[in-house]
């Protein structure tokens, strides 16, 4: 069965004088054991999608569409059932482990929190369980007695991962798990996530602005822009040969080591992402698009299929397609 | 990563001792706070030890040891009251009631204020609005009048005084706790706790409450001072327990027996000073604690 199915998800925030659509019709699905990456710049709606999966959005958000975790409709779920699915069914590795741990409680107690809440292990076995979780993420058992401020950033992120695994969920959502870490630690954490998730039938949704990180870890990749998926396909193909101009700009923004041309010509994308409350007419990427044409203002493109199991939301892709 | 667990634990313990030392030192930097703490320790010690050196008959109205209204002398350092009891004994004994009422009333008030503040801050919306309007209502109500009304309708006892003070002085705590709750609730670990499947009770008890505690502790010490003054006021107005000896009660007896017009200063000044001194000590401790928990206050001095 499909582990996670998102169909036409929309999220809009109530703001002064109207509504700001943060997510506008996002659909994707995730099979057990596979890893999907979601990339995009700040404010494109990727974290909103992650939080919507477990209905963790603030009260001002209005959610539409359907989200099914393991075949169960999350949006129609009752409060008690929702609490049971949170963490036991799907857990989250938050960005910024520094702040996602309560500074006044020992990390062992915080790892034990979901286990006790969901009653997945008898109380007497909890310390043993916490110890083995810590060992699985490469920390010594006695660290359970430490407070968050006694750990380094990488160790804290390891604690967050141990916590995400505590109830053996089928789905893990990793929201920028390596953002605040230096490259070495980042590589360690990614390898750890890879080891723990791979080969256990756990599905993972990984969110990052770092295309290189996603290309390394994920099977498939979705690029988001202004609340929509604009490109989707196998990770390596999307990074190497993006079909949407935004996807292409995103992967071109990363310099390639050993390529003198890219070193001398660092490319970026001029401009800022559009204000969700005031989106441009037609294609929302048009004002920043290097290859925009007049007809881009007339059509709001949807995802068009591209050979190789991919799709992109650009009318040029459709034009290339043989009719 | 190979050091034995025992020495690790020793390291942690040493670090905790160091943290405690840091807090102690930052408290000790506040001379007024130290004075308050010393005065309080003395008051509590005297109150606890009172039965050891004051025999019961010395406080009895019928078997009083001295004559009425004796001025201070060698036998009665602070003179005697209207029944011939030693005023010094009365003041020492009165500390028991005053401190008990002060602590218990403050506990009732802080407990009420904390519960209401955390609930209002956690749920927000309608619950917060309703609770905060009730709080505002209590806040604008003249506390003394309300306490008098409560003490008048209930049985005259020390418990009544405690309840009357407790239910009228919680609104300021509720406001402070609500504000602190709102700031704690905005932190990411609260989002994590909700994602874990934690319910409202779990978030409030496990995450919000421990982080609100420093504020609550400082608020408690300040409230004890307020409660002691309030207890004295109520006793002075004749609403205290008739049998119990308290500082406010001594003052009332002094007024009733005409001590003011006949210049019997030894009857009025000692209990009055005791009230002022203990209330001041609690306030000084409270301010010093606030300084420890909130370093910004310390720098401003």
In a domain, A117, yes or no: no
Nearest to A231 by CA among A52, A26, A2: A26
Instruction: Please write the tens of the pLDDT for every residue from A255-288.
Output: 666 666 655 655 667 777 888 878 888 888 888 8
Neighbours of B167 (CB within 10 A): 16
Conformation bin of residue B21: beta by default, left when phi > 0, alpha when psi is -120 to 50: alpha
pLDDT band, residue B145 (cuts 50/70/90): confident
Nearest to B119 by CA among B50, B182, B73: B182
The CATH number of the domain where A293 resides is what?
Answer: 3.40.50.300
A56/B8 CB distance under 8 A: no
Instruction: Please write the tens of the pLDDT for every residue from B40-89.
Output: 899 899 888 888 887 777 777 776 677 777 777 777 777 777 777 888 88
Query: Domain-by-domain residue ranges, chain B?
Result: 74-300
Answer yes or no: are the C-beta atoms of A97 and A156 closer than 8 Å.
Answer: yes
Write the residue in A86, A96, A102 that is nearest to B195 by C-beta: A86
B196/A105 CB distance under 8 A: no
Instruction: Please write the tens of the pLDDT for every residue from A131-141.
Output: 999 998 889 99
To the nearest whole angstrom, how far is the Cα of B11 from the nearest Cα of chain A? 11
pLDDT, position A167: 87
Selected for mutation to probe chain A from B192, B212, B217 (highest A CB count within 10 Å) is B192
Q: What is the 3-state secondary structure (H, E, C) of A11-46?
A: EEEEECCEEEEEEEEEEEEECCCCEEEEECCCCCCH
Cα A314 → chain centroid: 23
Q: Is A299 on the interface with B (CB under 8 A)?
A: no
Is the pLDDT confidence value at B226 over 60? Answer: yes
CA distance A284 to A271: 13
Fold of B74-300: MetI-like fold (1.10.3720)
**Arithmetic mean of pLDDT over chain B:** 83
To the nearest whole angstrom, how far is the Cα of B210 from the nearest Cα of chain A? 7
Q: Where are the alpha helices (DSSP H) in A89-179?
A: 97-100, 107-118, 126-136, 153-165
CA distance B179 to B118: 9
Chain B neighbours among A 148-177 (CB < 8 Å)? Answer: 150, 163
Instruction: Please write the tens of the pLDDT for every residue from B243-257.
Output: 778 888 888 888 888
Long-range Cβ contacts of B22-25 (<8 Å, 24+ apart):
B23/B292
pLDDT, position B301: 43
Looking at the structure of chain A, the number of domains it has is 1
In a domain, A278, yes or no: yes
B9/A145 CB distance under 8 A: yes
In a domain, A165, yes or no: no
CA distance A173 to B119: 30
To the nearest whole angstrom, how far is the Cα of B212 from the nearest Cα of chain A? 11
State whether residue B209 is helix, strand or coil: helix
Residue written as token pair 């299929």:
A305
pLDDT, position B130: 93
Residue written as token pair 């990749």:
A221
State whether residue A311 is helix, strand or coil: strand
Range of the domain at A250: 4-80+175-184+202-320
- Each residue of B107-124: b (16+ CB within 10 Å) or e? bbbbebbbbbbbbbbbee
Q: What is the pTM of this model?
A: 0.73
Answer yes or no: are the C-beta atoms of A301 and A321 closer than 8 Å.
Answer: no
pLDDT, position B2: 46
CA distance A106 to B210: 13
CA distance B98 to B278: 9
Tell me the chain A residues in contact with residue B12 when contact means C-beta distances shorter than 8 Å: 145-146, 150
Write the residue in B1, B192, B206 that is nearest to A100 by C-beta: B192
In a domain, A265, yes or no: yes
Write the residue in A59, A99, A117 that is nearest to B187 by C-beta: A99
Answer yes or no: are the C-beta atoms of B290 and B297 closer than 8 Å.
Answer: yes
Class of residue B157 by CB neighbours under 10 A (exposed 0-12, middle 13-18, buried 19+): middle
In a domain, A144, yes or no: no
pLDDT, position B140: 87
């Amino acid at each position: 069965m499909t582990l996670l199915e998102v169909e036409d998800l929309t999220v809009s925030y109530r703001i002064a004088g109207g509504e700001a659509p943060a997510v506008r019709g996002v659909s994707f699905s995730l099979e057990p054991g596979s890893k999907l990456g979601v990339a995009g710049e700040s404010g494109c709606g990727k974290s909103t999608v992650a939080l919507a999966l477990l209905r963790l959005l603030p009260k001002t958000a209005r959610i539409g569409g359907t989200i099914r975790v393991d075949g169960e409709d999350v949006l129609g779920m009752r409060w008690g059932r929702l609490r049971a699915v949170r963490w036991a069914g799907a857990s989250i590795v938050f960005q910024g482990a520094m702040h996602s741990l309560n500074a006044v409680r020992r990390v062992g107690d915080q790892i034990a929190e979901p286990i006790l809440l969901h009653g997945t292990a008898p109380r007497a076995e909890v310390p043993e369980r916490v110890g083995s979780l810590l060992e699985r993420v490469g920390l010594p058992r006695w660290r359970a007695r430490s407070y968050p401020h006694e750990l380094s950033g990488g160790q804290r992120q390891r604690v967050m991962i141990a916590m995400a695994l505590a109830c053996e969920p089928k789905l893990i959502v990793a929201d920028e798990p390596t953002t605040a870490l230096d490259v070495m630690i980042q590589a360690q954490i990614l390898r750890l996530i890879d080891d723990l998730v791979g080969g256990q039938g756990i599905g993972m949704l990984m969110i990052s602005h770092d295309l290189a990180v996603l290309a390394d870890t994920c099977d498939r990749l979705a690029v988001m822009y202004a609340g929509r998926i604009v490109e989707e396909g196998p990770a390596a193909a999307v990074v190497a040969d993006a079909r949407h101009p935004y996807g292409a700009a995103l992967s071109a923004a990363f310099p390639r080591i050993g390529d003198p041309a890219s070193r001398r010509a660092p490319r970026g994308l001029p401009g800022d992402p559009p204000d969700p409350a005031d989106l441009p007419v037609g294609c929302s990427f048009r004002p920043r698009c290097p290859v925009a044409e007049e007809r881009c203002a007339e059509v709001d493109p949807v995802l068009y299929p591209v050979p190789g199991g991919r799709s992109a939301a650009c009318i040029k892709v459709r034009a290339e397609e043989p009719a | 990563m190979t050091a034995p667990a025992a020495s690790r634990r020793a390291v942690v313990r040493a670090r905790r001792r160091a943290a405690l030392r840091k807090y102690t030192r930052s408290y000790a930097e506040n001379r007024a706070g130290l004075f308050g703490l010393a005065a309080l320790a003395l008051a509590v010690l005297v109150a606890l030890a009172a039965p050891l050196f004051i025999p019961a008959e010395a406080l009895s109205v019928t078997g009083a040891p001295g004559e009425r209204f004796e001025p201070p002398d060698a036998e009665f350092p602070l003179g005697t009251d209207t029944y011939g009891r030693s005023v010094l004994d009365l003041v020492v004994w009165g500390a028991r009631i005053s401190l008990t009422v002060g602590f218990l009333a403050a506990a009732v008030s802080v407990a009420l204020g904390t519960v209401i503040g955390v609930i209002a801050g956690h749920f927000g919306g309608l619950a917060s609005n309703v609770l905060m309007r009730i709080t505002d209502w209590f806040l604008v109500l003249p506390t003394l009048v309300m306490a008098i009304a409560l003490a008048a309708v209930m049985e005259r006892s020390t418990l009544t005084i405690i309840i009357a003070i407790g239910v009228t002085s919680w609104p300021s705590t509720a406001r402070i706790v609500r504000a602190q709750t709102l700031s704690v609730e905005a932190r990411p670990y609260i989002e994590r706790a909700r994602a874990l499947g934690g319910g409202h009770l779990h978030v409030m008890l496990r995450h919000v409450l421990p982080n609100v505690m420093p504020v609550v502790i400082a608020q408690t010490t300040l409230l004890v001072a307020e409660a002691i003054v309030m207890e004295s006021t109520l006793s002075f107005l004749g609403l205290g327990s008739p049998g119990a000896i308290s500082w406010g009660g001594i003052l009332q007896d002094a007024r009733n027996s005409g001590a003011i017009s006949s210049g019997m200063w030894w009857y009025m000044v000692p209990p009055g000073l005791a009230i002022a001194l203990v209330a001041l000590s609690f306030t000084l401790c409270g301010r010093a604690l606030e300084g420890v928990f909130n370093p910004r206050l310390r720098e401003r001095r």
